[in-house]
């Protein structure tokens, strides 16, 4: 079985179905992609998960009735899951059309086979990785310098970094709402970054969360590529080999 230890998971998947065969086949295929899987048999329970968890993948079985399309719509309206990759399990072409109209990115029509599921997931893999990367925080400690208008420079170390921002530890406390310019370099390969930031949170340990308000487009693209490499390094070797040609 593919190694899906916590440190090597690409993300979370929610399957909404009461069909034991469907959930078994989907779970097997998702675990091969280093996705952790949760199964809900009731749409009400699944909606609660959508409201309280970040998902990379959501799968709904249209055999659950009219509320299944509502589930797709609720995922799309969710603040944290509106970009999750959605799949619909359908019984016929009419349901397939309804699922696509309702916002499902992919459909799988019964009877399902592990081969048909793997084929569809392989087509979707690049999108799944991209969704995970958007929220991926890579832990790293490198020196950083923060400058504020009219004030002395503040030095510290990074805690983690994502596409949208970073956590920073400094000897001089930062305050929420403060605006500053941050400069630091990432290794392997070296990437020198500068960004205008806003402090979103801070604590009494000298740690703060920074939102990237502006970063030059070429640097933002290089940061995305750097994070994509770090994410790929965390995947099980079997997954990387299987999908190494898929776009991210």
Same domain, 68 and 162: no
Q: Based on the domain organization, do 109 and 203 belong to the same domain?
A: no
Q: Are residues 145 and 118 in the same domain?
A: no
Tell me how many domains the chain contains: 2
* Residue 240 domain-assigned (yes or no): no
Distance, in Å, from the CA atom of 155 to the CA atom of 171, rounded to the nearest integer, reads 7
Instruction: Compute how many other C-beta atoms are within 10 angstroms of the C-beta atom of residue 152.
Output: 8
Give the dihedral of Cα atoms 60, 62, 66, 71; nearest 10 deg.
10
Tens of each residue's pLDDT in the chain, 248 residues: 344 444 577 889 999 999 999 999 999 999 888 899 999 999 999 999 999 999 999 999 999 998 999 999 999 999 999 999 999 999 999 999 999 999 999 999 999 999 999 999 988 988 888 888 888 899 999 999 999 887 889 999 999 999 999 999 998 889 999 999 999 999 999 999 999 999 999 999 999 999 999 999 999 999 999 998 898 887 776 666 665 544 44
> Same domain, yes or no, for 28 and 125?
yes
pTM for the model stands at 0.76
Q: What is the CATH number for 121?
A: 3.40.50.2300
Domain with 180, as residue range(s), is 138-215
Question: Are both 131 and 10 inside the same structural domain?
Answer: yes
Residue 2 confidence (pLDDT): 40
Residues 131, 72, single domain; the answer is yes
- Bridge partners for 185 per DSSP: 192
User: Are 100 and 165 members of one domain?
Assistant: no
Q: How many CA atoms within 13 Å lie on the side-chain side of 21?
A: 6
Looking at the structure, tell me whether residues 16 and 127 fall in a common domain: yes
End of a domain among 105, 135, 165? 135
Backbone angles phi, psi at 18, to 5 degrees: -105, 0
SS (H, E, C) 79-116: CCCCCCEEEEEECCHHHHHHHHHCCCCEEEECCCCHHH
pLDDT for 24 equals 97
Tell whether 18 and 122 lie within a shared domain: yes
Among 86, 114, 135, give the residue marking a domain's end: 135
Residues 55 and 100 in one domain: yes
Assess if residue 230 is contained within a domain.
no
Same domain flag for 158 and 104? no
Whichever domain contains 145, its CATH number is 2.40.10.220
Task: Report the side by side order of strands in the sheet with 57-61.
Answer: 35-40, 11-16, 57-61, 85-90, 106-109
Same domain, 62 and 160: no
């Amino acid at each position: 079985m593919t190694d899906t230890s916590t440190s090597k998971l690409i993300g979370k998947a929610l399957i909404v179905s009461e069909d034991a065969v469907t959930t078994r086949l989907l779970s097997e295929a998702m675990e091969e992609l280093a996705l952790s899987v949760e199964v809900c048999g009731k749409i009400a329970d699944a909606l609660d998960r959508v409201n309280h968890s970040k998902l990379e993948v959501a799968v709904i079985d249209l055999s659950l009735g009219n509320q299944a399309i509502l589930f797709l719509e609720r995922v799309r309206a969710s603040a944290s899951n509106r970009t999750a990759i959605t799949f619909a399990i359908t019984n016929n072409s009419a349901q397939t059309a309804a699922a696509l109209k309702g916002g499902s990115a992919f459909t799988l029509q019964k009877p399902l086979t592990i081969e048909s599921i793997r084929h569809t997931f392989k087509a979707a893999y690049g999108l799944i990785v991209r969704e995970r990367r958007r929220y991926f925080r890579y832990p790293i400690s490198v020196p950083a310098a923060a400058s504020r208008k009219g004030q002395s420079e503040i030095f510290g170390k990074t805690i983690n970094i994502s596409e949208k921002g970073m956590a920073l530890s400094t000897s001089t406390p930062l305050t929420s709402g403060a605006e500053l310019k941050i400069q630091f370099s990432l290794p392997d390969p070296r990437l020198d970054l500068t960004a205008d930031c806003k402090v979103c949170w801070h604590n009494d340990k000298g740690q703060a969360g920074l939102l990237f308000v502006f970063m030059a487009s070429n640097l933002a693209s290089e940061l995305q590529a750097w994070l994509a490499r770090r994410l790929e390094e965390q995947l099980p070797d079997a997954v990387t080999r299987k999908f190494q040609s898929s776009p991210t």
